[in-house]
Chain A
Amino acid sequence: MMQFVDALSYFLQTAVQMGTHILLATLGGILCEKVGNLNLGIEGMMLLGASVGFSAAISTANPAVAVLAAGLAGAAGALIYALITVTLRGNQVVTGLVLTIFGAGVSGFLGKNLSGKSLPESVSHAFAPVSIPVLRDIPVLGKMLFEQSIYVHISIVIAILMYVYLNHTHAGLDARAVGENPGAADASGINVSACKYAHVISGGFLCGVGGAWLSLVFVPRWQENITAGAGWIAVALIIFSTWNPVKAIFAAYAFGALKGIGFKFQNADLSLFGSKIQFSAQLLDMIPYVATIIVLVLITRRKKKEHQSPKGLGVPYFREER
């Protein structure tokens, strides 16, 4: 029994680590979609963050600078996206897809000089798991929550702060108004473009930081296409968590756990009631996408307002065409 509890707590610890970049990217995406912009460039912004963050870590050996650089790289990608979709009213889907290609290109280009290098001691030390005495010994949940890198704790705090921001602050409610009905928001005196820029770019910052979790902490090395599609899982989880940052925490860790199960049981032969079952990592990988489709159907059936997607999602706002 004790052994099982131990194994479970290790597993949950890993699940959180396999979900942290997805959490940050999902949060970034939520921020962007809440102001009505569907950004399919999350994968690209994560790659930008991962490569620039790693490169900054190597050249400065300063963990804070590395994370900041990663965030700014993601934000720069988001700035291009915002310029085209907000100011120039371009097609959001196409712009997002191109941003993903562009981000992958830039990261592949930068990464050429990064592969094989390892992080400076100062950086890996700063992000090493911090073990909090007493608390870490809580059964099952102890390791998951209290023997983690500070990166994990910060991402959870960001999620909670974002929830408070979107639901209980003036600025947050303004932002949601922009996403729901930009015309009305404009009429009530909110600067729609400025609001969109601010949130799209901050969202890109978070995506960049999310990508850097992989290159700075989890892997921690540079490898080509390090995100391996995590950005698309984030696009799915934005919907799965019904645009709620706190739910995103659970969603991201749940899918981290799923990945963990996939890895662990890939080649294991298990039997249930005498018949052999085989875990297929590929079929498990399908779950987030299928689950998201189910959620998409369910939210439109349940007419609960807070679960719906922002009304103005994907539609460029143009005052003169109101």
Chain B
Amino acid sequence: MIRIVTRPEPSAFRENVLRLFAVVAALAAAAVFMAMMGYNPFDIYAKMIAGSLKSAYRFKETVNKTIPLVVLSLGIAVAFRMKFWNIGAEGQFYLGAYGASLVAFTMPSLPAIILLPLMLVVSFLFGGLWALVPAVLKSRFSASETLVTLMLNYVALKWISYLQYGPWKDPAAKGFPKIAPFGKSAILPDFLGIHIGWVITLALVAIIYVLVKKTKLGYEIDVLGESEATARYAGMSVTRITIVAILISGGLCGIAGMMQASAIEHSLSEQLSGGLGFTAVITTWLARLSPPVIVLVSFLFSVLLQGGSFLQSSLQIPSSVADILQGIIIFFVLGSEFFVRYRFTRSAPGEAGK
């Protein structure tokens, strides 16, 4: 009789080999799929790599996609470490972008050096407070945060649509439902060819890394994630830790929204995220909540996304190919986790049938 047992100590090396194997298997499976659809898979893979890396412009596009993904994932990771299943990054992103836009539109005459940091702070607060809603509902009414954060995504998104089609509609856009562009001082400048958000992002990676690995708060978050009872027993204030961690989590997602609105879109729109908040849940999970790995995984994802849009624009292959590829790869990685955590064994005689 074959039984499944938990591996006593999953080794990091084995884990990574398994994941790599899963990705390779996924690429092979996707290749079969593409061949069945009448495409040459090697050609498509090569084009995707070229389309995302093989020129300064394309590389820049890829990095532009990586930036929000990293910041969102960092935010999600902080909550996930506490086992607070925040899948509301999308909504917190939009709230942050909304807060930044409020600042940009009400104080357009401020110089960039004051305006941009102010936008950053407000977007952090807006995203953080939006994330606090499910946290309060969870602690007061034990309402599932997974579901509440999911619902709040759509409330936030509809709010932006409301602004775009209603009160914030730009009269100068000739009837198009568009929000007016930001003033010049509300736009993040470039640094070494790419908007300065990348510097902010790397700084945030370092800060969050230190926070979760080296500080008391990070330790408390981890303990709380393991067991609330333990945290209480150790005399930690569960409420304080939760509030601070969730503010940081939502706040980071808000910052991602601000950077996207300011540097990429130069305005607010209901298309601003395009589902990045959901993709970030996946990247965070794949990176096992580790800030440095988040950078790597987010970059690889962006290669996939950028490669997909290159297929669309240059070869008229629908960018949905990239979605399919993304799906297949993650399905395989998700499946491979099982082999990381468990192994098969023959049960000892006498134990059979147990």
Closest 8 CB pairs of A and B: A102-B327, A105-B323, A108-B320, A105-B324, A88-B338, A282-B162, A282-B161, A90-B334
A229, CB-defined interface residue at 8 Å: yes
Smallest distance from the beta carbon of A239 to chain B beta carbons, Å? Answer: 6
Task: Given A93-B87, A93-B281, A314-B146, check contact A297 B334 (CB 8 Å).
Answer: no
B337, CB-defined interface residue at 8 Å: yes
A215, CB-defined interface residue at 8 Å: no
Smallest distance from the beta carbon of B8 to chain A beta carbons, Å? Answer: 13
Task: Given A105-B324, A286-B158, A292-B151, check contact A320 B165 (CB 8 Å).
Answer: no
Q: Which positions 300-354 of chain B face chain A at CB distance < 8 Å?
A: 318-328, 330-331, 334-335, 337-338, 341-342
Additional A-B contacts beyond A289-B154, A314-B146 (20; CB < 8 A): A88-B335, A91-B285, A97-B278, A97-B281, A98-B327, A102-B327, A104-B320, A105-B320, A105-B325, A105-B327, A106-B320, A236-B154, A239-B147, A282-B161, A283-B162, A289-B158, A292-B147, A296-B141, A296-B144, A296-B151
Q: Which positions 104-162 of chain B face chain A at CB distance < 8 Å?
A: 137, 141-144, 146-148, 150-152, 154-155, 158-159, 161-162
- Determine the residue in chain A with the shortest Cβ distance to B37: A109
Q: Which positions 83-110 of chain A face chain B at CB distance < 8 Å?
A: 83-84, 87-91, 93-95, 97-109
Which secondary structure dominates chain A's binding surface?
helix
B4, CB-defined interface residue at 8 Å: yes
A121, CB-defined interface residue at 8 Å: no
User: Which of these, A84, A229, A290, contacts B155 with CB under 8 Å?
Assistant: A290
Do residues B338 and A280 form an inter-chain contact, with CB atoms below 8 A? no
Do residues A300 and B141 form an inter-chain contact, with CB atoms below 8 A? yes
- Determine the residue in chain A with the shortest Cβ distance to B34: A109
Do residues B334 and A94 form an inter-chain contact, with CB atoms below 8 A? yes
- Determine the residue in chain B with the shortest Cβ distance to A295: B143
- List, in ascending order, chain B residues with CB within 8 A of A6's CB: none
Q: List 23 A-B contacts (CB under 8 A).
A: A90-B337, A91-B285, A93-B85, A93-B87, A94-B285, A95-B331, A97-B281, A98-B282, A100-B278, A101-B275, A102-B323, A102-B324, A103-B327, A104-B323, A108-B318, A108-B319, A112-B318, A112-B320, A232-B150, A296-B141, A320-B4, A320-B5, A320-B6
In the bound complex, what is the Cα–Cα distance between A99 and B328 (angstroms)? 9
B6, B146, B154, most chain A CB atoms within 10 A: B154
- List, in ascending order, chain B residues with CB within 8 A of A98's CB: 282, 326-327, 330-331, 334
Q: Which A residues are closer than 8 A to B by beta carbons?
A: 38, 40, 80, 83-84, 87-91, 93-95, 97-109, 112, 229, 232, 235-236, 239, 278, 280-283, 285-286, 289-290, 292-293, 296-297, 300-301, 309, 314, 318, 320-321
In the bound complex, what is the Cα–Cα distance between A265 and B301 (angstroms)? 42
- List, in ascending order, chain B residues with CB within 8 A of A321's CB: 6
Smallest distance from the beta carbon of B269 to chain A beta carbons, Å? Answer: 13
Do residues B143 and A94 form an inter-chain contact, with CB atoms below 8 A? no
In the bound complex, what is the Cα–Cα distance between A112 and B155 (angstroms)? 31
- Determine the residue in chain A with the shortest Cβ distance to B160: A282
Q: Mark B164-180, 1 if CB is under 8 A from A, else 0.
A: 01100000000000000
B232, CB-defined interface residue at 8 Å: no
Task: Given A94-B285, A280-B162, check contact A296 B143 (CB 8 Å).
Answer: yes
- List, in ascending order, chain A residues with CB within 8 A of B148's CB: 293, 296
B54, CB-defined interface residue at 8 Å: no
User: Which of these, B5, B141, B155, B324, contacts A301 with CB under 8 Å?
Assistant: B141
In the bound complex, what is the Cα–Cα distance between A239 and B151 (angstroms)? 11
Task: Given A105-B323, A109-B324, A282-B161, check contact A84 B331 (CB 8 Å).
Answer: yes
- List, in ascending order, chain A residues with CB within 8 A of B335's CB: 83-84, 88, 90
Smallest distance from the beta carbon of A17 to chain B beta carbons, Å? Answer: 22
B3, CB-defined interface residue at 8 Å: yes
- List, in ascending order, chain B residues with CB within 8 A of A112's CB: 318, 320
Do residues B155 and A286 form an inter-chain contact, with CB atoms below 8 A? yes
Do residues A309 and B144 form an inter-chain contact, with CB atoms below 8 A? yes
In the bound complex, what is the Cα–Cα distance between A128 and B295 (angstroms)? 53
- List, in ascending order, chain B residues with CB within 8 A of A99's CB: 327
- List, in ascending order, chain A residues with CB within 8 A of B151's CB: 236, 289-290, 292-293, 296
- List, in ascending order, chain A residues with CB within 8 A of B281's CB: 93-94, 97
Smallest distance from the beta carbon of A191 to chain B beta carbons, Å? Answer: 15
In the bound complex, what is the Cα–Cα distance between A280 and B165 (angstroms)? 9
Smallest distance from the beta carbon of B323 to chain A beta carbons, Å? Answer: 3
- Determine the residue in chain A with the shortest Cβ distance to B322: A105
- Determine the residue in chain B with the shortest Cβ distance to A90: B334
